[in-house]
Amino acid sequence: MNRVFITGASSGLGAALAREYAARGATVGLVARRRDALDTLRAQLPNPERHLVYALDVTDRAALAAAALDFIERQGGADIVIACAGISVGTLTEFAEDLPVFDTILATNVSATVATFAPFIATMKAQSTPCRLVGIGSVAGVRGLPGAGAYSASKAAVRVYCESLRLELKPHGVKVVTIAPGYIDTPMTKHNAYPMPFLMSPARFAARAARTIAAGTSYRVIPWQMGVVAKLLRLLPDTLYDLAFVNAPRKAREARTARRETP
């Protein structure tokens, strides 16, 4: 597997995965909004001339499809596609100004995952080599967290969507892998003002994720300790879950003019 297309590649998990696969000798398609950050990353990778840069917003479906088709044409296909682009910010439904934020999070985390995979499916079905489509979920998608309705919902949606896609593509030999990170030390978690158990470095995450992807595992939480926590949370009755998490620490909302939604 030596042709890897990664969205959200300019920083965090996406950049770590790009480094991991480039170190393994892969040709990597790097997708993100910031051209300068992508160029800097490419220059740091082994054989930088081998890797392709696509500066675009993943919510721009036409631009994303064009990048995917260019990668397929220039590389003769793709072995691994990782939809890693994502955003996380605190949201509260009662505030009208948070409704567009819900839309943005769902568009970036869910719809863009679909749009990332779509252009590759026909080619992957025709390939004789093993193929993987990889969705990045989150432990935050296991149960709804207070103050994170948009993010929790989006990551739960990624998990269920990938499950549906996995069944659709199983007869064609294309494996769909969902990886749910716990707390990883990335720019997304830097501003979390609460304890983050089992915090893992991006490089360690990427190495474990690559092994999971190679194995074609349908769903895995990384690190494994958070996987145990996730299983317990799934089993916890709603009454006990509510008691335990009603006052859980919340991710900060962006600075917005407060205006409550009214009937």
> H-helix or E-strand containing 208?
helix 202-215
Cα–Cα distance list, 235 to 81, 156, 231 (Å): 32, 16, 6
Strand order of the sheet with strand 174-181? 52-55, 27-32, 3-7, 80-83, 131-136, 174-181, 219-222
Burial 53-69 (b: 16+ CB within 10 A, else e): bbbbebbebebbeebbe
* Residues facing residue 136 across a β-bridge: 179
How many whole angstroms separate alpha carbon 134 and alpha carbon 22? 17
Instruction: Name the E strands within 27-97.
Output: 27-32, 52-55, 80-83
* Phi, psi dihedrals of residue 5, rounded to the nearest 5°: -115, 120
Contact 168, 148 (CB under 8 A): no
Confirm if 182 and 223 have CB atoms less than 8 A apart. yes
Let me know if 151 is a catalytic residue: yes
Structure tokens at 169: 């593509």
Active-site residue identified among 151, 161, 183, 219: 151
Greatest Cα pair distance in the chain: 58
| Position 190, amino acid | K
- Residues with catalytic function: 151
